[in-house]
Amino acid sequence: MNAQRALNLGKVCVLPLVLIAFATAGCGAKKDPFQQQVTRMATPDRLQTDVSKSQLATLPSDELTMKGSTYFRQGNLQLARLHFATALQKDPNYRPAMAGLGDVLYRQGDMAGSRDLFTRVLNEDPDNFRALLGLGRIARDRGEYEKAMEFLYQAKDIQPESAEALTELAMAHDLLGQGNLALAEPLYREALSLQPDDPNIQNNLGFNLALQGRYPEAISYLSRALSMERDNARIKNNLATALLLNNQESEALQLFENSIGKAAAYNNIGYLYMTQGIWDKAEQSFRKALQTSPTFYLRAQQNLDRLKQLRTQSFQAPE
């Protein structure tokens, strides 16, 4: 899974998959809620896909899972989910399909459904790499960093040469703040040595270096990432941020403007100056955002009000 981030600048939702442990009482057998959900997801939507149920019926679970994994890598989450769910309909305990469906639901923003699937897999296979990685991502996204580290380090121990595990672990270190940035950097570099042509790892390493204040190095990696994916807005924003913090304002403005528009560019630049305590330039940028587009009146005005508060607090602070 690609891991891309923007530097502190301002998911298709699906119905949540609710997984409840199956239990029966008395002689009345009931359908497992898990299987009911899987059955619904294994029903093709003819308006959105040409794949028919009869086409899938002849394929075994392992082949369906392989096809689902291919669709997932291609970014076709609908067909990936259909194939994984059909595989589980045939074999409810097929862990590769269960983990694959967990990855799809995570990408679609269904954290609860994804977590329950990965937990089911891990209960049966405590060393399952995909489940550990998935639960680590979810814990990290929920701000449960200690739990995330536990899952992600286990995943790394199982596949020490996985660029994906190294990157996810490094991202968790980044989120823990300044004290952990130096721990994240070698993980990114190791991941990059395994996949030197991956723009997302280049981006993440550049992001880490920018957080460390090493702006020229950050610009080098982020420029390389952008040369690989020229239309990637997140990489553009990260590079623009590093350029601005390296006192290259004109280059930063051009990149911001190309990705988010002129008014938003001035607003973001003002915000960055404000976080750096460069009050005058922050105010100039916010006012340019206001002049450029009325759309940004509320946002830029709120930032101006916040800037005024920060300045007042700074003047009132005891020496």
Residue range 96-125, pLDDT digits in tens:
999 999 999 999 999 999 999 999 999 999
Report pLDDT digits (tens) over 18-42. Answer: 332 323 333 344 556 777 777 767 6
How far lies 31's CA from each of 27, 95, 150, in Å?
Answer: 13, 20, 35
Report pLDDT for 299.
81
Report pLDDT for 83.
94
pTM (predicted TM-score): 0.74
Report pLDDT for 64.
96
Report pLDDT for 32.
65
Report pLDDT for 3.
54
Report pLDDT for 316.
62
Report pLDDT for 26.
38
Say which residues have a Cβ less than 8 Å from residue 29's Cβ, sequence separation at least 6: none
Report pLDDT for 8.
42
In three-state form (DSSP H/G/I as H, E/B as E, the rest C), the secondary structure along the chain is: CCCCCCCCCCCCCCCCCCCCCCCCCCCCCCCCHHHHHHHHHCCCCCCCCCCCHHHHHCCCHHHHHHHHHHHHHHCCHHHHHHHHHHHHHHCCCCHHHHHHHHHHHHHCCCHHHHHHHHHHHHHHCCCCHHHHHHHHHHHHHCCCHHHHHHHHHHHHHHCCCCHHHHHHHHHHHHHCCHHHHHHHHHHHHHHHHHCCCCHHHHHHHHHHHHHCCCHHHHHHHHHHHHHHCCCCHHHHHHHHHHHHHCCCHHHHHHHHHHHHCHHHHHHHHHHHHHHCCCHHHHHHHHHHHHHHCHHHHHHHHHHHHHHHHHHHHHHHCCC
Report pLDDT for 313.
78
pLDDT under 50: residue ranges of the chain: 1, 8-29, 47
Report pLDDT for 17.
31
Report pLDDT for 45.
61
